[in-house]
């Protein structure tokens, strides 16, 4: 097993997955992340490398999507007329954009390159920051997502020798795509920590959604009450994720690292800071080595504070993967570039001061009940005490 770490960059066509200038999913968040990783000098070209993605083939996309859906994505992006609304496209979350299939297949291919690097032993850890498009369904676009690259990476891993995969999703929105795609597959453990579907899109992700048939108990949801802060979120993570992943003993750990859990994110209502991301990155790294022989495939995800939060959050995660202790002061060169692009002042540090608990509107009782419900429902299926 190589000790290398790979950052997968999807190439010169990076801005192609662009839903429009008014859309919250800004492609600049990915390019700014890459530039911050470079500015910190994490990449040494040997142990920590950057590699270029490839496009997922139609055959690979069909591991999780239907043939008619892939054809619809292609034709819609070429400007053909059609009933594309039946596939989830239209004004709002999922607008049609030029060369939509090509751009989406490139993002999906980046996650396949990341999965291949880890499964084939080219690297222990890999990260595709452009990925994490976890709302796309087998035959429908949803939540800014066209092709479900985390699900595709999981399906590819299973088709190429992995027997068991654990998927951990920390986006503020429920990881509904991978859950739905593998709902009856007992080889895939999915764990999603998210703001409750009672108060946030996509309206799913409740504890009773725990798998079907032989897969019952392998689909795990931790629906958190609005305004959960660092302490409550980290407690929920610690009580649920490490025990389950350790008991599962996956061949590969796949993660979706959405950072729309941040207190300043405009699309949700959790109240995390980058302090929580630092702790989460360490836990996931430890889990990869303790439970999955070091094999860790990471993807990006949500995050709509596109220059103040996303680059810092994902650089923290990639620095942890690389085993590099990053100076807290953000590189001045990067700050100047980010400010010029955004037109607003950039943060000065990776870290943020811990918020005064009195300022966090967390509901401790509701949080405890949610975690207890998960443990009562799921833990016995894995030989764990509730």
Provide the CATH number for the domain around residue 163.
Answer: 3.40.800.20
Q: Indicate which residues carry an active-site annotation.
A: 135
User: Given this model, what pLDDT does residue 354 score?
Assistant: 75
User: Given this model, what pLDDT does residue 10 score?
Assistant: 83
Strands (E), the chain: 5-9, 48-52, 125-128, 165-169, 188-195, 219-224, 252-256, 296-299
Q: What percent of the chain has pLDDT over 90?
A: 95
* In the predicted structure, residue 147 carries a pLDDT above the cut 80: yes
The residue segments making up the domain with residue 13 are 5-382
* In the predicted structure, residue 186 carries a pLDDT above the cut 70: yes
Spatial strand order of the sheet with 48-52 comes to 48-52, 5-9, 125-128, 296-299, 252-256, 165-169, 188-195, 219-224
Three-state SS string over 219-250 comes to: EEEEEECCCCEHHHHHHHHHHHHHHHHHHHCC
Give every CB contact of residue 76 below 8 A, 6+ residues apart in sequence.
82, 84, 87, 89, 96, 100
Confidence band, pLDDT 50/70/90 cuts, at residue 1: very low
Instruction: Report how far Cα 319 is from the mean position of its chain's Cα atoms.
Output: 16
Q: Can you tell me the distance from the alpha carbon of 63 to that of 72, in angstroms, rounded to the nearest whole number?
A: 16
Confidence band, pLDDT 50/70/90 cuts, at residue 15: low
Please state whether the peptide bond connecting residue 202 to the residue before it is cis, i.e. omega within 30 degrees of 0: yes
**50 - beta bridge partners?**
7
Q: How many domains does the chain have?
A: 1
* In the predicted structure, residue 333 carries a pLDDT above the cut 50: yes
Q: What are the tens digits of pLDDT across the range 195-207?
A: 999 999 999 999 9
User: Given this model, what pLDDT does residue 16 score?
Assistant: 84
């Amino acid at each position: 097993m190589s000790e290398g770490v790979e950052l997968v960059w999807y190439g010169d066509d990076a801005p192609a997955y662009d839903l429009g200038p008014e859309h919250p999913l800004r492609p600049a968040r990915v390019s700014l992340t890459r530039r911050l990783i470079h500015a910190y000098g994490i990449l040494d070209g040997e142990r920590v490398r950057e590699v270029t993605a490839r496009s997922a083939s139609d055959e690979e996309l069909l591991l999780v999507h239907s043939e008619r859906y892939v054809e619809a994505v292609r034709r819609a992006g070429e400007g053909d007329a059609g009933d594309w609304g039946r596939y989830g496209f239209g004004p709002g979350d999922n607008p049609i954009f030029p060369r939509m299939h090509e751009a989406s297949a490139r993002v999906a291919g980046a996650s396949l390159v990341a999965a291949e690097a880890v499964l084939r032993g080219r690297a222990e850890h890999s990260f595709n920051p452009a990925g994490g498009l976890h709302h796309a369904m087998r035959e429908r676009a949803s939540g800014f997502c066209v092709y479900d690259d985390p699900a595709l990476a999981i399906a590819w891993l299973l088709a190429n020798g992995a027997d068991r995969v654990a998927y951990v999703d920390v986006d503020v929105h429920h990881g509904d795509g991978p859950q739905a795609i593998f709902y009856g597959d007992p080889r895939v453990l999915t764990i999603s920590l998210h703001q409750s579907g009672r108060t946030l899109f996509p309206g799913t992700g409740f504890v009773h959604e725990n798998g079907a048939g032989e897969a019952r108990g392998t689909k795990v949801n931790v629906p958190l009450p609005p305004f959960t802060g660092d302490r409550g979120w980290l407690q929920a993570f610690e009580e649920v994720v490490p025990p389950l992943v350790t008991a599962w003993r996956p061949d590969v750990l796949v993660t979706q690292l959405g950072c729309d859990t941040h207190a300043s994110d405009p699309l949700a209502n959790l109240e995390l800071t980058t302090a929580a991301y630092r702790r989460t990155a360490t836990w996931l790294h430890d889990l990869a080595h303790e439970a999955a022989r070091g094999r860790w495939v990471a993807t990006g995800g949500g995050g709509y504070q596109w220059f103040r939060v996303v680059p810092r959050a994902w650089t923290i995660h990639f620095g942890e993967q690389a085993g590099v202790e990053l100076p807290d002061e953000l590189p001045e060169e990067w700050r100047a570039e980010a400010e010029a692009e955004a037109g607003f002042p950039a943060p000065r540090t990776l870290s943020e001061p811990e918020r005064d608990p009195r300022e966090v509107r967390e509901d401790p009782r509701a949080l405890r009940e949610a975690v207890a419900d998960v443990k009562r429902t799921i833990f016995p299926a894995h030989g764990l005490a509730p």
